[in-house]
């Protein structure tokens, strides 16, 4: 897969001191979380602890609320009119739904990659530099260094290093998605939310993304929504099974797939529905 | 057999009417050229560089009118573009849902007012206001060419103001369409990186950049051809001046004012030659504008996306 | 203050400026409507609608001939523009992908952007010069040409909205193409097409420039279309440019009437569009 040199480069944090919290402890704590679109309640009393620097997968049939849930972690749902949240989600002990929360700062700590890649109609370089620039970084040298680091982390550097100033749309679908990952990584988030990141990609590109996730978890807490159970099984440490807006079961991935406690979970992972 | 023969007849008959429209446009260009031949032959290129317009002595130089048209339209663009874009952004991104319809309707109302009414208001209401402003201009500013000259009220400045008001609804409604069609995914990408609302709006504007330029050009096309409202407030003096206070003259205005007074054929042909230039300029500007808008719309329509979550919940 | 705090302030200011832009645009609208109503409505009286203009300097009189003249001009323009525009629109809707159709569409767009005074010059050359006489027909031709692109566009777009199943059903029942189009498809799109004609009419009702040297003006009562004819717009223009207060007063009254006409037409058109959308929603 990767050379030791490349793995070493990835293992060093982008521009952050080594984390204080140990691996595996709770990073995101969700308590009694409800969510409403207008009068319709779409998430019911979700209780969940997402561990630090692990990959947590959210699975479940269409419409079960996993996308709504993941978007609540970086408060992306705020831009949807008539959307309302109840309950708490704390990151490192601070409730992100408390009054007076700086949502802009929150979204820099919690990065997001979307189902369909959405690069800006700019150059590859400018896409990655975007987050840095709005954060106030304008020094050419610093930008160059961080753009390179982000692209290396997203396993895209070798493929684009000679054409950083070409448009993002000249890349293939899989490369665009990795570009979006690099863009998200550039602002140095602690948490990475991925909403079905590979669902629009071919198998080879999907594999590359999965490898990437595996390498990234050394430094980032990753929450990934997927409808592909094999992917969840391959890539994640913990898995949460959602159904009709409720959290049915949450355990180590091995347990969910080999030894689920709930019948509904078993039915779903064995393909009896969904 | 029977079917296709009647189909062909239908196609040909309706096609004749369609061809008529095409013929009309070509015909306009041809007629304009034909009816300005005397002037074209006599003055040639000097027509466009000559500064003297003296029908009595037979000297016809159209430069003052070209200047007046271009300057007034440029000023109108400078004034109207930020306002039109601000309106487009406000209505499509910032305003409360309930206000959207009424606000957009009221903006369209601006386009529905006949230009003679604008002219009337311009002459009787706006001009005195501008005159007062001109009188109040401090002496220090008066030294600049932009503000030099006697405070008459009528002049380039007043014309620019009226033109910009008339242009705003055109630019704004196209800009709104463009913004409406920028995929939400682009804004979401910006928000997810910690952008403020204004920064996300800038991303959307960047995405629709070409179309917005087209919208501005549409406004330009409108300003170039406006006749009545301009001629009532611009002063109708064929002089070339940077000053906003100075009365000047546009291509459309001189045609409107002097056409029926053109005693001899050369005079008439000179006026029509000005009309020919106006025709060509507006065709180019409008064609470019449509090109820009159309190319953006095509790109946007192909990549429409709805946040997956809303789709998911709607389906649930 | 942190950089992030500064960005938020910039965002708030920018958003506020956009709201200001809205106010800046609506302010002149309010002012214009206010003055038109204030000066115009009060000047409207029965005489305005029934009397002819008085000779220069004499107070009183009205714009009866101008009102009728405008109506006649609109009628002439529509007579020309509606058949040509509609059938052209039908052709574009039935054969949308041909090269010819693209060229015609482009031509219609060009025609839409031609300044109305240039169209007036063309009508002058076409209708006035050969007979050395100004006439209502010339004015009607000029206005008609301004109507055509709007009618073409709306007709085409509305016909294309009619589901293709309808045409196929008619053809399958043995109708000729012409019959299918005129008896099934056009009626289905008729409300929309009529709306388009309304919109086009609203556009030309307020036009002044092209009439200045085609229909000219006429201080007397005339319904003879081979003669110059008065029109609201030109009359208002003439009165506005005069030095007489009484004529200014009447100009405002005429402006008020014009605004009422165009506003009413545009409101009807808008309501019709809203009604159409509701009808077409399954």
Split at pLDDT 50, 70, 90, the class of A274 is low
Interface membership of B105 toward C (CB under 8 Å): yes
Distance of residue C19 Cα from the nearest chain A Cα, in angstroms: 20
My answer on whether C208 and C82 are in the same domain is yes
C12 with C135, same domain? no
**CB–CB of B106 and C240 under 8 A?**
no
Same domain, C55 and C154: yes
pLDDT > 90 fraction of chain C, expressed in percent and rounded: 50
Query: Does C17 share its domain with C123?
Result: no
Partners of residue A112 on adjacent β-strands? A193
* B112 in contact with chain A, both atoms CB, cutoff 8 A: no
Look at C7 and A105 and tell me if their CB atoms are within 8 Å.
Answer: no
Tell me the pLDDT of chain A averaged across its residues: 88
User: Cα distance from C276 to chain B (closest Cα, Å)?
Assistant: 17
Weakest mean pLDDT among A99-113, C73-87, C128-142, C259-273: C259-273
Residue A166's contacts (CB-CB under 8 Å, 6 or more residues apart) are A123, A124
User: Rounded to 5 degrees, what are φ and ψ at B186?
Assistant: -65, -45
Query: What is the number of structural domains in chain C?
Result: 2
pLDDT-derived band at B159 (thresholds 50, 70, 90) equals very high
* Model confidence at C264: pLDDT above 80: yes
The nearest alpha carbon in chain A to B206 belongs to A121
Helix count (H) and strand count (E) of chain A? 11, 10
User: Comparing C-alpha atoms, which of A111, A257, A117 is closest to residue A198?
Assistant: A117
In chain B, what are the domain boundaries?
63-315
C111 in the same domain as C33:
no
Give the span between the Cα atoms of B286 and B225, in whole angstroms.
11
What is the band of C175 on the pLDDT scale with cuts at 50, 70, 90? Answer: confident
Q: Helix, strand or coil for residue B242?
A: coil
Residue A100, number of CB atoms within 10 A of its CB: 4
- Pick from B254, B252, B249, B225: nearest CA to B235: B249
Q: How far is CA B273 from CA B43, B219, B249, B260, C96, in A?
A: 11, 24, 16, 15, 36
Quick check: B183 and A118 in contact, CB under 8 A?
Answer: yes
Q: Which residues pair with A191 in a beta bridge?
A: A110, A221
Residues A219-260: pLDDT tens digits? 999 999 998 888 898 999 999 999 999 999 999 999 888 888
Q: What are phi and psi of B235, to 5 degrees?
A: 100, -25
Q: In what order do the strands lie in the sheet with A94-95?
A: A40-51, A26-37, A83-91, A94-95
State percent of chain A over pLDDT 90.
Answer: 66
Average pLDDT over residues C212-233: 87
d(CA C233, CA C71): 12
Write the residue in A67, A114, A187 that is nearest to B185 by C-beta. Answer: A114
Would you put residue B274 in left (φ > 0), alpha (ψ -120 to 50) or beta?
alpha
Q: Measured between alpha carbons, how far is B29 from B233 in angstroms, rounded to an integer?
A: 29
Q: Do B256 and C117 touch (CB under 8 A)?
A: yes
pLDDT at residue C282, as a whole number:
53
Range with the lowest mean pLDDT among B261-270, B286-295, C182-191? Answer: C182-191
Contacts of C84 in chain B (CB under 8 A): 17, 20-21
Higher pLDDT: C178 or A206? It is A206
Residue C244 pLDDT > 90: no
Task: Determine the Cα–Cα distance for residues A73 and A77; give it in Å rounded to an integer.
Answer: 9
Residues C66, C193 within the same domain: yes
pLDDT band at A144 (very low <50, low <70, confident <90, very high): very high
How far is residue C89's CA from residue C203's CA, in Å, rounded to a whole number?
Answer: 19
| Contact assignment for A102 to C4 by CB distance below 8 Å | yes
Do A198 and A177 contact (CB within 8 A), yes or no? Answer: yes
Confidence band, pLDDT 50/70/90 cuts, at residue B163 = very high
Closest CA to B274 of B255, B299, B288, B293: B255
For residue C55, give every residue at least 6 positions away whose Cβ sits within 8 Å of its Cβ, in sequence order, or none: C219
User: Mutating which of A136, A137, A138 best tests the C interface, going by the most C Cβ atoms within 10 A?
Assistant: A136
CB B109 within 8 A of CB B118: no
Give residue B301's pLDDT band: very low, low, confident or very high (50, 70, 90).
Answer: low
In the structure, what pLDDT confidence band is assigned to residue C188 with cuts at 50, 70 and 90? confident
CA C240, CA C261: separation in Å to the nearest integer? 19
Q: Are residues C11 and C142 in the same domain?
A: no
Neighbours of chain A (3+ CB pairs under 8 A): B, C
**Residue C161 shares a structural domain with residue C197:** yes
Domain enclosing residue C210, as ranges: 48-280
Taking 90 as the threshold, does the pLDDT of residue C108 lie above it? yes
Nearest to C108 among B15, B21, B169 (CB): B21
Cα separation values, C89 from B80, C86, C159, C224, C273, Å: 33, 5, 8, 32, 18
Beta-strand pair A55-59/A238-243: parallel
Looking at residues A145-167, what average pLDDT do you find? 92
Task: Say which residue the tokens 């014009």 belong to.
Answer: C258
A107: nearest CB among B191, B305, B307: B191
What lies within 8 Å, CB to CB, of A194 at 6+ separation is A112, A113, A213, A222, A223, A224, A225
Element (DSSP H or E) covering residue A88: strand A83-91
C146 at interface of B, judged by CB pairs closer than 8 A: no
CATH code for position C220: 1.10.3720.10
Q: Chain B contacts of C216, Cβ < 8 Å? A: 260
Cβ <8 Å between A104 and C7: yes
**C17 interface with B at CB cutoff 8 Å:** yes
CB-nearest partner of A134 from B189, B199, B305: B199
Give percent of chain C with pLDDT exceeding 70.
97
Q: Which residue has the higher pLDDT, A13 or B232?
A: B232
pLDDT(B233) > 90: yes
Confidence category of residue B300, pLDDT binned at 50, 70, 90: low
Which of B90-99, C97-106, C214-223, C248-257 is predicted least confidently?
C214-223
Instruction: Check whether residue C145 and residue C13 sit in a common domain.
Output: no
pLDDT value at position B22?
93
pLDDT at C150: 93
Q: For residues B121 and C222, give the distance between their C-alpha atoms in angstroms, rounded to a whole number.
A: 29
- Among candidates B6, B83, B201 on the partner chain, residue whose Cβ is nearest the Cβ of C24: B83
Percent of chain B past pLDDT 70, that is, above it, reads: 93
User: Which range, of A19-33, A61-75, B298-312, averages the lowest pLDDT?
Assistant: B298-312
Residue with the bigger pLDDT between B23 and B59: it is B23
Residue of C1, C2, C3, C4 to mutate for A, most A C-beta atoms under 10 A: C4
B207-221 pLDDT per residue, tens? 999 999 999 999 999
Say if the Cβ atoms of B308 and A107 lie within 8 Å. Answer: no
Answer yes or no: are the C-beta atoms of B182 and B209 closer than 8 Å: no
C203 and C269 belong to one structural domain: yes
pLDDT at A4 over 90: no
Alpha helices in chain C, H assignment, sequence order: 3-35, 42-43, 46-50, 64-94, 99-113, 116-123, 129-131, 136-161, 164-172, 177-180, 186-205, 232-240, 245-280
Contacts of A179 in chain B (CB under 8 A): none
Interface chains of chain C (3 or more CB pairs under 8 Å) = A, B
Does residue A111 sit at the B interface (CB-CB below 8 Å)? yes
Report chain C's terminal Cα–Cα distance, integer Å: 55
Residue of chain A whose Cα is closest to the Cα of B303 = A118
- Its CATH class, for the domain covering B63-315, is mainly alpha
Find all residues with CB under 8 Å of C264, minimum gap 6, and list them.
none
More confident residue, C10 or A12: C10
Q: Are residues C143 and C227 in the same domain?
A: yes
d(CA B109, CA B85): 17
- Looking at the structure, tell me whether residues C121 and C201 fall in a common domain: yes
Residue B135: Cβ-neighbour burial (10 angstroms; 0-12, 13-18, 19+): exposed
Nearest residue on chain C to A106, judged by CA atoms?
C4
How far is C90 from C180, CA to CA, in rounded Å? 12
> Could you tell me the pLDDT band of residue C212, with boundaries at 50, 70 and 90?
very high
B145 versus C136: the higher-pLDDT residue is: C136
pLDDT of residue C181: 80
Facing C84 at nearest CB: one of B17, B119, B120? B17
Alpha-carbon distance of C185 to C189, in angstroms, equals 6
Q: CB contact, 8 Å: B311 with chain A?
A: no
Please report the pLDDT score of residue B3 as a whole number. Answer: 58
Query: What helix, strand, coil percent values describe chain A, rounded to 5?
Result: 40, 25, 35
Question: Residue A39: helix, strand or coil by DSSP?
Answer: coil
Distance from CA of A1 to the nearest CA of B (A): 30
State the complex-level ipTM. Answer: 0.90
């Amino acid at each position: 897969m990767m050379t030791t040199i490349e793995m070493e480069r990835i293992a060093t944090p982008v521009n952050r001191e080594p984390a204080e919290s140990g691996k595996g402890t709770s990073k995101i704590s969700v308590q009694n979380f409800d969510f409403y679109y207008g009068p319709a309640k779409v998430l019911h009393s979700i209780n969940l602890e997402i561990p630090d620097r692990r990959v947590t997968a959210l699975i479940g049939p269409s419409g079960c609320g996993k996308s709504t849930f993941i978007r609540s972690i970086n408060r992306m749902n705020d831009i949807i009119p008539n959307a309302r949240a109840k309950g708490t989600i704390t990151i490192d002990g601070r409730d992100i739904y408390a009054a007076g929360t700086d949502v802009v700062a929150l979204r820099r700590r919690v990065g997001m990659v979307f189902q369909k890649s959405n690069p800006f109609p700019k150059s590859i370089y400018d896409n990655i530099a975007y987050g840095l620039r709005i954060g106030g970084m304008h020094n050419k040298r610093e930008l160059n260094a961080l753009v390179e680091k982000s692209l290396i982390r997203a396993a895209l550097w070798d493929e684009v290093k000679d054409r950083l100033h070409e448009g993002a749309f000249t890349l293939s679908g899989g490369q665009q998605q990795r570009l979006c990952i690099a863009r998200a990584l550039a602002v140095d988030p602690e948490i990475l939310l991925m909403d079905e990141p590979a669902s629009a990609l071919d198998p080879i590109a999907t594999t590359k993304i999965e490898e990437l996730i595996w390498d990234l978890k050394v430094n980032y807490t990753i929450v990934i929504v997927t409808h592909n159970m094999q992917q969840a099984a391959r890539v994640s440490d913990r898995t949460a099974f959602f159904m009709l807006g409720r959290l049915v079961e949450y355990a180590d991935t091995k347990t969910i797939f080999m030894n689920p406690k709930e019948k509904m979970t078993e039915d779903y992972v064995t393909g009896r529905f969904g | 057999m029977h079917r296709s023969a009647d189909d062909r007849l239908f196609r040909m008959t309706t096609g004749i009417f369609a061809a008529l429209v095409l013929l009309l446009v070509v015909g306009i260009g041809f007629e304009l050229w034909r009816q300005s031949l005397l002037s074209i032959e006599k003055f040639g290129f000097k027509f466009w560089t000559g500064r003297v317009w003296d029908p009595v002595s037979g000297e016809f130089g159209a430069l003052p009118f070209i200047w007046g048209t271009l300057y007034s339209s440029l000023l109108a663009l400078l004034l109207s573009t930020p306002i039109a874009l601000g309106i487009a952004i406000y209505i499509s991104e910032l305003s409360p849902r309930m206000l959207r319809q009424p606000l957009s309707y009221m903006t369209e109302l601006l386009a529905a007012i006949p230009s003679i009414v604008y002219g009337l208001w311009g002459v009787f209401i706006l001009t005195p206001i501008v005159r007062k402003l001109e009188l109040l201009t401090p002496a220090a500013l008066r030294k600049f060419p932009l503000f030099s000259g006697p405070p008459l009220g009528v002049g380039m400045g007043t014309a620019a103001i009226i033109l910009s008001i008339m242009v705003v609804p055109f630019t704004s409604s196209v800009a709104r369409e463009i913004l409406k069609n920028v995929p939400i995914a682009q804004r979401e990408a910006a928000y997810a990186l910690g952008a403020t609302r204004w920064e996300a709006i800038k991303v959307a504007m960047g995405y629709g950049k070409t179309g917005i330029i087209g919208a501005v050009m549409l406004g330009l096309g409108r300003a170039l051809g406006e006749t009545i409202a301009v001629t009532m407030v611009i002063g109708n003096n064929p002089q070339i001046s940077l000053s906003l206070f100075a009365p000047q003259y546009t291509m459309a205005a001189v045609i409107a004012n002097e056409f029926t007074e053109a005693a001899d054929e050369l005079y008439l042909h000179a006026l029509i030659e000005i009309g020919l230039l106006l025709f060509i300029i507006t065709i180019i500007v409008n064609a470019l504008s449509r090109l820009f808008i159309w190319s953006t719309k095509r790109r946007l329509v192909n990549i429409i996306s709805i946040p997956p979550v809303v789709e998911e919940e709607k389906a649930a | 203050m942190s950089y992030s705090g500064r960005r938020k302030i910039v965002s708030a200011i920018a958003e506020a400026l956009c709201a200001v832009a809205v106010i800046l645009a609506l302010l002149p609208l309010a002012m214009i409507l206010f003055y038109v109503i204030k000066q115009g409505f009060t000047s409207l009286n029965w005489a305005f609608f029934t009397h002819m203009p008085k000779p220069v300097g004499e107070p009183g009189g009205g714009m009866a001939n101008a009102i009728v003249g405008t109506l006649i001009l609109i009628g002439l323009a529509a007579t020309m523009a509606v058949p040509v525009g509609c059938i052209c629109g039908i052709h574009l809707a039935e054969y949308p992908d041909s090269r010819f159709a693209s060229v015609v569409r482009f031509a219609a767009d060009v025609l839409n952007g031609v300044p109305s005074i240039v169209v007036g010059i063309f009508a002058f050359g076409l209708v006035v010069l050969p007979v050395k006489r100004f006439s209502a027909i010339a004015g009607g031709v000029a206005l008609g040409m301004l109507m055509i692109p709007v009618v073409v566009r709306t007709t085409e777009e509305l016909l294309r909205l009619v589901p293709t199943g309808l045409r196929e059903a008619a053809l399958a029942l043995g109708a000729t193409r012409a019959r299918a189009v005129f008896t099934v498809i056009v009626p289905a799109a008729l409300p929309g097409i009529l709306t388009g004609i309304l919109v086009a009419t609203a556009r030309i009702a307020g036009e002044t420039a092209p009439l200045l040297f085609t229909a000219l003006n006429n201080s007397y009562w005339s319904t003879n279309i081979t003669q110059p004819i008065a029109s609201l717009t030109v009359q208002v223009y003439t009165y506005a440019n005069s030095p007489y207060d009484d004529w200014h007063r009447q100009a405002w009254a005429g402006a008020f009437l014009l605004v009422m006409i165009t506003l009413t037409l545009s409101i009807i058109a808008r309501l019709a569009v809203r009604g159409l959308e509701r009808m077409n929603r399954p």
